Amino acid sequence: MPNNTRTRLIAGNWKMNKNYTEGVQLAQDLANELGHDTHGVEVVVCPPATDLKGVSGVIEFDRAPFGLGAQNVYWEASGAFTGELSCDMLKSVGCTHCIVGHSERRDYFGETDGDINLKVKALLAAGIVPISCCGESLEVREAGNQVDFVVGQIRADFDGVELESGDQLVVAYEPIWAIGTGKTATPEDAQEVCGAIRAALVDIFGADIASQIRVLYGGSAKPGNVAGFLAEEDVDGALVGGASLVAADFAAMVERAAE
Ligand SMILES: O=C(CO)COP(=O)(O)O
């Protein structure tokens, strides 16, 4: 069990995997694996946009014990923005959460901290919880600059953001060199940066709100290593890529988080 009052959160980022039929199947498999009780752990899945409506159907009709998140959003309300999705569109298919600022979007699609800042503000205004990602490259880590780099991202991403309570926002620390590589950070590596993130959040939002914001670790997290991360004071859950595509593995991680 956590040694603080924050509810642990295990979130799955399916990335660009699973077509509609496969996505609905995975959601149903996960619902079966989890049963109706996740023992105090919050669970969210973030499928591709084309699967959102189907997965929300599984959540509604099978009373599946997980929330629904998108992987991206655009900050404008509507209009001539070909290919983009608004907060209202995400809400209309049942999204409660949305990943923003994933390193893959920063690196492959040129997303900047300024973009992420606008997305976070739009999501908060719509009542959707941003799962806001940050994390350093191998180069930054090898130079020993991971804390300064990530705190810089956090300050830029949340510039001018106002919260009423800490459960409106989730932060995910994902060192880029550990994503999809099988190379995990150690729990101590994760705590070093997640602790610095918490300190920055105290500065930005004040101690009360910062103490309630969940900070997740992501990067090759799996059933065999998640407990080590969760044992750290400032790690409140995991953002899971590859292992979230296997219902039994993802459910096993939720189980570890409940222990
Ligand atoms: O990027 C991630 C989650 O957003 C982590 O992916 P992996 O768990 O596949 O390393």
Q: For the chain, what are the domain ranges? A: 9-258
Helix (H), strand (E) at residue 187: helix 187-205
Residue nearest to atom 6 of ligand 1 (CA): 241
Tell me what pLDDT residue 3 has: 59
Is 179's C-beta closer than 6 angstroms to any atom of ligand 1?
Answer: yes
CA atoms within 13 A on the CB side of 45: 35
Q: What is the pTM of this model?
A: 0.97
Q: What is the pLDDT of residues 65-118, one digit of tens each?
A: 999 999 999 999 999 999 999 999 999 999 999 999 999 999 999 999 999 999
- Terminal-to-terminal C-alpha distance of the chain: 6
Is 219's C-beta closer than 6 angstroms to any atom of ligand 1?
Answer: yes
Domain 9-258, CATH: 3.20.20.70
* ipTM attached to this prediction: 0.99
Tell me what pLDDT residue 141 has: 95
Tell me what pLDDT residue 62 has: 83
Is 242's C-beta closer than 6 angstroms to any atom of ligand 1?
Answer: yes
Written as six digits, the tokens of 219 are: 């990067």
Q: How far is the CA of 231 from the centre of ligand 1 (A)?
A: 20
CA 184 to centroid of chain Cα atoms: 17
Burial of 95 (0-12, 13-18, 19+ CB in 10 A): buried
Q: What is the pLDDT of residues 209-256, one digit of tens each?
A: 999 999 999 999 999 999 999 999 999 999 999 999 999 999 999 999
Query: Residue by residue, what is the 3-state secondary structure of 135-186?
Result: CCCHHHHHCCCHHHHHHHHHHHHCCCCCCCCHHHCEEEECCHHHCCCCCCCC
